[in-house]
Amino acid sequence: MSETSQSLPPPPVRFGVLMRMNGLIRKEFLQILRDPSSIAIAFLMPFFLLLLFGYGVSLDAEHVPVALVVEAPGPETASLAGSFMASRYFSPTVYSRMSEAIAAMNERRADAIVHLRSDFGRMIYSSAGAPIQVIIQGSDANTGRLISGYIEGTVQVWLAQLARLKGQSLQALVDMRPRIWFNSEVRSQNFLVPGLIAVIMTLIGALLTSMVVAREWERGTMEALAVTPVTMTEILLGKLIPYFILGMGGMTLAVSMAYFLFEVPLRGSLWLLIATSALFLLVALGMGLLISIIARNQFVAGQVAIIVTFLPAFILSGFIFDIASMPAPVQVITHLIAARYYVAILQTIFLAGDIWSVIVPNTMALFVMAVFFLGVSRRKALKRLD
Amino acid sequence: MWRRIVALMRKEFLAILKDKKSRIVLIGPPIIQLLVFGYAATYDLNQVPFAVYNEDQGGASRDLLAKLRLSPTFHEVAIVTHDAEIAPLIDSKQALLLIHLGPDFSRNLDQGIPAPLQVIVDGRNSNTAMIALNYIQSIVDAFNREWTVSQGLRRPRAQLVVRSWFNPNLESRWFIVPGIVGLLTLVVTMLVTALSVAREREQGTFDQLLVTPMRPFEIVLGKALPGFIIGFAEATVIMIVAVSWFRIPLLGNLVTLYTGLFLFLLSAIGVGLMISSVAVTQQQGLLGAFLFLVPSIILSGFTTPIANMPKVVQYITYVNPLRYFMVILREVFLQGSPFSSLLSQFWPMALIGIINLSLAGWLFRHRMH
């Protein structure tokens, strides 16, 4: 205590730094308030996008329209049709001729055809078994495979019921019992919403800063700043700090929506979530800053921001498409996407908890990226007139 | 009149292309993105890392595991001998799933008691988890079928003969790549049009344009045509890459495809110019473009089917031009759908385009500040 009181007052230069920074930050906040689009980016966008995604995006197909072709109705076909009717996965329509079913499929009224031939009732008890022809509308491969799995499952369950009815004992077969950790009720929102926060914050961070420095160059105010005693580091910090505060506000909104509105469980600790989010926001802002320093005009800066943020974060972050299944060269590219690390961190903190073996390496990667973007921004931003 | 429009078009092209950086932005990224996304955007899993915890000594468990190990979808990363080893493997994402066979697995099967196969899967991405479980289920089904036959068990039997039309091997890529054509065309058109009026407003040149003898209709045309030309060129290049590099079959005819493209560009440019004429600054124009782009990509059926969305959201998708173009692209590419069967997709885009272009023209005159 006594030591600090005895030490010399800070040199006037340090004071000047604080004053200049204060001025720059105040100026930036005034600008933000005057053109409310920054505030809209920070608060309106996460709200609107999370709402849309949270409610609009689902990979779980239900009530798939299926054309059931029954050539010769009998007790077996009726009970199988009943199984399809009862399933929440299907909304079947029964036809008596194959040609009608094909017409339905061509007119987008059916996504699959299940064809029971006239000898179905007899063949089902023969040793060869009854063939069931299934035709899938396969354009959408993922949905096609899902539907095929549902049909297979429905038929297997029905066969087992039939065997029981006929008094045959159920054979010993392998019975798969899946346990889905971290998301036992398989709510796709539980993983989509944390992933979406990463995608949205990439957008917002880059959008917030990408236009601002470019705007100063374009309007000539950068030259006005250049003749003042402010250093480049101060100018950049003066840009970064207000938008960081704005971005953290948006982040808080997004995380609160995930927790309260979409009821995504938060199994890890809140402080870790805040710390890693702040780090990620620095990366996103740094990326935007670098874009605007290199582009120097708002038009190009805006275009680059659109191109390098949303789509790469959407497709290459592992938020929806599995990174491990991508070809090796593409996997290498995903390492350049900051959202990739943040998606892994968010999904783990929300659903699994503070698992250090996931969080430490991903946080390190984010740290390296933050240092890189901010460092390169500082180097590229020279006080020069050209 | 045409001379004036051509002059404005030339000026627009110069504004877009005179800067080397903005030329690069329009040409480079779409091609790179097509190549990267074409490979990245797939739901098909391969090399799924799995671990085995086998407490059983019998032959049946060996047979089942052999099937799994031979599958190219799965890749064994660890063998576990204690319960305590399971959690760290899954937690750290070293293994996506773990297969556990209890000590009585083979004995149960031989004695006619159902044998449980426990599968623990990392649900942090529950879609990937479900796809992986589906793959395992089909391996188990195959095993069960062979077992039933080899043991001579009698039960009602049915063979599913599954065929998939339009995409016989159910490859995600065939579905995703035509979608990327629509995606990138939309992004490029929005980039060209959404900032065009806002930029002139900010620089004050738009007021000058308004006092020239040009009528709003002519200004709209002069601003829209460069977008059309760039959009057509980009889409054509992207489709050539889709067919020649990714080998996506193009079964339908080009007239149908380009009719769809024309109407899609009409609607996309309409929306772009609308946004641009409402915006006062470029930042607002950019924000508007984003607020349109992001939801329209999400709600187009590009990654998740529209049929899975709640009804209310499905209604919202009807005002999204990309929704219709996605159907056209995929049907013309994979199914070779004729012109007549796509009429229901054509007219909504035409309507969206005409309404937005008229609005944009009206706003040119009436939004002075």
Condensed to tens digits (0 to 9), the pLDDT of residues B287-305 reads: 788 889 888 998 898 888 8
Examine residue B156 and state whether it is found in any structural domain, yes or no: no
**For testing contact with chain A, the best of B134, B155, B184 (most A CBs within 10 A):** B155
The pLDDT value given to residue B170 = 85
Residue B350 has pLDDT above 70, yes or no: yes
Structure tokens, A242: 């207000």
- Please give the average pLDDT of every successive group of 10 residues along chain A, which has 386 residues: 48 66 82 77 84 77 90 90 91 92 88 91 81 89 85 86 73 74 81 88 82 75 77 84 90 92 92 95 91 80 81 88 88 93 93 91 96 90 61
Please give the pLDDT value at position A359. Answer: 93
Domain-embedded: residue B160: no
Split at pLDDT 50, 70, 90, the class of B368 is low
Decide if B299 and A52 are in contact by the 8 Å CB cutoff. yes
pLDDT value of residue A257: 93
Report CB contact under 8 Å: B308, A311. Answer: no
pLDDT value, residue A5: 46
Please name every residue paired with A130 in a beta bridge, in sequence order, or none if there are none: B158
Asked if the model's pLDDT at residue B8 lies above 80, the reply is yes
**What residue in A sits closest to B291 (Cα-Cα)?**
A45
Say which of B45, B119, B310 has its CB closest to residue A176. Answer: B119
Give the minimum alpha-carbon distance from A6 to chain B in angstroms, rounded to a whole number: 51
A53, A141, A352: residue with CB nearest B175: A141
Same domain, B20 and B107: no
- Tell me how many residue pairs between chain A and chain B have CB atoms under 8 A apart: 353
Q: Is residue B163 part of a domain?
A: no
Give the minimum alpha-carbon distance from A226 to chain B in angstroms, rounded to a whole number: 23
| B356 min Cα distance to partner chain A (Å) | 22
Please indicate whether, in this complex, the C-beta atoms of B284 and A37 are within 8 angstroms of each other.
yes
pLDDT at B158: 73
B250 and B232 within one domain: yes
Is residue B109 in some structural domain?
yes
Paired with A114 in beta bridges are: A68, A134
Q: Are residues B354 and B271 located together in one domain of the fold? A: yes
The residue with tokens 């009732």 is: A121
Tell me which range, A192-196, B205-209, B255-259, is most confidently predicted by mean pLDDT: B255-259
Q: What is the mean pLDDT of residues B338-360?
A: 92
Share of chain B above pLDDT 90, in %: 37
Q: Where are the alpha helices (DSSP H) in B112-253?
A: 126-150, 172-194, 196-203, 205-210, 216-244
The CATH number assigned to the domain holding B57 equals: 3.40.1710.10
Distance CA A339, CA A195 (A): 9
Q: Where are the alpha helices (DSSP H) in chain A?
A: 2-6, 12-34, 37-39, 45-56, 75-86, 98-106, 120-123, 141-165, 188-219, 221-226, 232-256, 270-295, 298-308, 310-316, 328-334, 338-347, 356-380
Contact state of B295 with A334 under an 8 Å Cβ cutoff: no
Question: B352 and B267 in one domain?
Answer: yes
pLDDT given for residue B354 in this prediction:
93
The answer to whether the Cβ–Cβ distance between A57 and B298 falls below 8 Å is yes
Give the pLDDT mean for B123-146: 86
For residue A40, which residues of chain B lie inside 8 Å, CB to CB? 287
What is the count of structural domains for chain B? Answer: 2
| B127 or B39: which leads in pLDDT | B39
Please indicate, yes or no, if residue B216 is contained in any of the structural domains. Answer: yes
Q: pLDDT band at residue B155, thresholds of 50, 70 and 90?
A: low
Question: Domain check: are B200 and B299 in the same one?
Answer: yes
Quick check: A132 and B160 CB within 8 A?
yes
The stretch B206-224 carries a mean pLDDT of 83
Average confidence (pLDDT) over B344-359:
93
Q: What is the model's pLDDT at position B235? A: 93
pLDDT over 90 at B222, yes or no: no
Question: Which residues of A are less than 8 Å from B90 in CB distance?
Answer: 181
**Shortest CA distance from A102: residue in chain B:** B165
Q: In what order do the strands lie in the sheet with A90-95?
A: A90-95, A64-70, A112-116, A130-137, B158-165
> Once rounded to an integer, what is the mean pLDDT over residues B208-231?
85
- Among B141, B167, B313, whose Cβ lies nearest the Cβ of A138? B167
Beta-carbon separation of A37 and B281 below 8 A: yes
Tell me whether residues B283 and A307 touch, CB distance under 8 A: no
Query: Which structural domain range is residue B108 located in?
Result: 48-150
Contact B90 A318 (CB under 8 A): no
Mark whether B226 and B355 lie in a shared domain: yes
Q: Clarify whether residues B28 and B114 are in a common domain.
A: no
Our measurement of the distance from residue A263's CA atom to the centroid of its chain's CA atoms, rounded to an integer in Å, reads 17
In this structure, the answer to whether residues B231 and B347 fall within a common structural domain is yes
Helix (H) or strand (E) holding B48: strand B48-54
Indicate whether B251 belongs to any domain. yes
In Å, how far is A358's CA from the nearest CA of chain B?
6
pLDDT value, residue A2: 43
B26 shares a domain with B133: no
Give the whole-angstrom CA distance, residue B131 versus residue B171: 14
| pLDDT at position A259 | 92
Q: How far apart are CA A104 and CA B48, in angstroms?
A: 37
Distance CA B153, CA B144 (A): 11
B236 and B357 in a common domain: yes
pLDDT at position A7 is: 53
User: How far does A21 lie from chain B, in Å, by closest CA?
Assistant: 25
Q: Is B248 left (phi over 0), alpha (psi -120 to 50) or beta?
A: beta
Pair (B348, B215) in one structural domain: yes
CA distance B99 to chain A (A): 9
What is the ipTM metric for this complex? 0.82
Q: Domain boundary residue among B150, B184, B200?
A: B150
Mean pLDDT, residues B234-247: 93
- Together in a domain, B186 and B137: no
Lowest mean per-residue pLDDT among A329-333, B128-132, B271-275: B128-132
Mean pLDDT of B115-134: 88
The verdict on residue B26 lying in a domain is yes
- B14-52 tens-digit pLDDT: 887 777 777 777 778 888 888 888 898 888 888 899 999
Contact B160 A155 (CB under 8 A): yes
Which of these, A34, A196, A309, lies nearest to B286 by C-alpha position? Answer: A309
